[in-house]
Amino acid sequence: MRSILPIVGIVCALGIEPSAARTETPVSDIVVRVVDENGQPVPGAYFYGYGYWKRSQQEGLTDTNGMFRYKDQVRSEVGGRITKDKYYKSSGGFWSNSWNGPPLPSTNTVVLKRIVDPVPMAYRDVKAVFPRLDEPVGFDLAAGDWVAPDGKGDTADMLLTATKRFVSWEDFLFSVQITFPGEHDGIHPFVARNPSSPKMASDLMPPQRAPDTGYSRSMTAWVGQKPGERVAYSLTEDRNHVFQTRTRKNEQGEIVAANVGWTDGDIGASPTEDTNGMLFIRYYFNPDPHSRSLEPKSIADQQGKKEP
C-alpha cells in the first residue's frame, strides 16, 4: 500500500483525476457498408451515429460504394441508424473496441431493404390458454383465436396438441406439437433481430415476399426442467417464422391463393399450475389470398418519419 499512495498523491497534486491517468481511449475507425437485399451498394443513404461513452455525434451520406466511416474515441459501442427514401430503416449498435484496450477492427455490413409492396396486415399478440390437453385444438390465424366452440375462429389454420407433466417448477415438461393440416400449408423459419434489439436490425424483419417453397407442416414448441438442472426450452433468440395457410394450387402446381404472414419472434409455450398451459405468439397476417407480401403497411408508413 505504501508504494501506491505516493503515486496517487503525485497525480492528485498535478491536478489530474486518478481515473484520467489511465491510457486515453484510442480512436476507433468504424467502417459501415450499406447494401440492399441483393448485396448491391446503396449510395446516398443517411448515416447518423453516436458514441455511447462520449455521446459525440456524426452524420453523413454513404459514398458511391455504399460506405461511411465513423472515427472517434469510442468505448465498446456506437449506436446509429441508416435511412434512405423508399427503404426500411436499419438501426442499432456496432461493436467498436474493448473498454480499455486497443481498437478492434470494425467493418460492418448493413442491409437496407426496399419498400416494395406494403399491404394492410392484421397484427395479433396472442396469449391463449389451451382449452384441453393431449388432443388437437384448431387455431384460426385470421381471428387470432381458437376455433369454435373453444374460441371465435372458424378455420383451423393450425392444429396444436399440448402435453403437460408438472410436478413442481423444478420438475416439469410442457410440449406443443404444431401441425398445419392443409396439404400445401406450413411454416418456414428465418433469422432476424427485432428492431428494438440493441444490435443493428431492419424495421422490416422478414423478406418482402413469402417464399413459394420450403415450408414444413409441423414444428414443436417446448419448455422443461429436471430437478437440479436449468430450465431448457425450444424458444430461440432471433428466430422467427413465415407461414402459409389456406393454400390452393392449380393443376400445374402453381399457387393460385394462400394467406401468408410472419411471426415476430419464436413461438413459445408455458405450463401453469391452475390451467392447461399457454401459447404465446405474435404475428402479422395478410388477409389477401392473392398477395404474398410480408410488408405491413403499418411499418412501411413509419419509414422516412423525422426522429428526435
pLDDT, residue 74, reads: 64
pLDDT, residue 21, reads: 38
- Mean confidence (pLDDT) of the chain: 87
Say if residue 189 is in the same domain as residue 267.
yes
pLDDT, residue 1, reads: 40
Say if residue 132 is in the same domain as residue 273.
yes
Is residue 9 over pLDDT 60?
A: no
Alpha-carbon distance 138 to 42, whole Å?
Answer: 45
Which of these three, 111, 132, 153, is where a domain ends?
111
Q: How far is CA 268 from the centre of its chain?
A: 15
Q: H or E stretch including 9?
A: helix 5-13
pLDDT, residue 4, reads: 39
Across the range 208-228, mean pLDDT stands at: 96
pLDDT, residue 100, reads: 58
Say if residue 70 is in the same domain as residue 155.
no
Q: How far is CA 118 from CA 28, 115, 208, 277, in A?
A: 39, 7, 9, 36
68 phi, psi to nearest 5 deg: -145, 140
Tell me the pLDDT band of 304, cut-offs 50, 70 and 90. confident
Q: How many residues does the chain have?
A: 308
Say if residue 92 is in the same domain as residue 128.
no
Q: Which domain holds residue 46?
A: 21-111
pLDDT digits (tens, 9 = 90+) for 60-118: 999 999 999 877 766 667 788 999 999 999 999 876 655 555 555 578 899 999 999 99
Q: Is residue 9 part of a domain?
A: no
Q: Are 260 and 287 in contact (CB under 8 A)?
A: no
Query: What is the number of domains present in the chain?
Result: 2
Q: Is residue 48 part of a domain?
A: yes
Say if residue 289 is in the same domain as residue 225.
yes
Is residue 131 over pLDDT 90?
A: yes
Say if residue 66 is in the same domain as residue 182.
no
pLDDT, residue 298, reads: 97
Is residue 237 over pLDDT 50?
A: yes
With cell 422478414, the residue in question is 206
DSSP class per residue in 256-308: EEEEEEEESS--EEE--SSSS-EEEEEEEE---TT--B--BHHHHTTTT----
Q: Is residue 3 part of a domain?
A: no
Q: Is residue 146 part of a domain?
A: yes
Which of these three, 92, 111, 130, is where a domain ends?
111
Q: Which amino acid is at 7?
A: I
Q: What is the CA radius of gyration of the chain?
A: 25
Of the ranges 66-80, 127-141, 260-274, which one carries the lowest mean pLDDT score? 66-80
Is residue 293 over pLDDT 80?
A: yes
pLDDT digits (tens, 9 = 90+) for 19-68: 443 456 666 677 889 999 999 999 999 998 877 666 567 889 999 999 99
Say if residue 152 is in the same domain as residue 98.
no
The CATH number of the domain holding residue 49 is 2.60.40.10
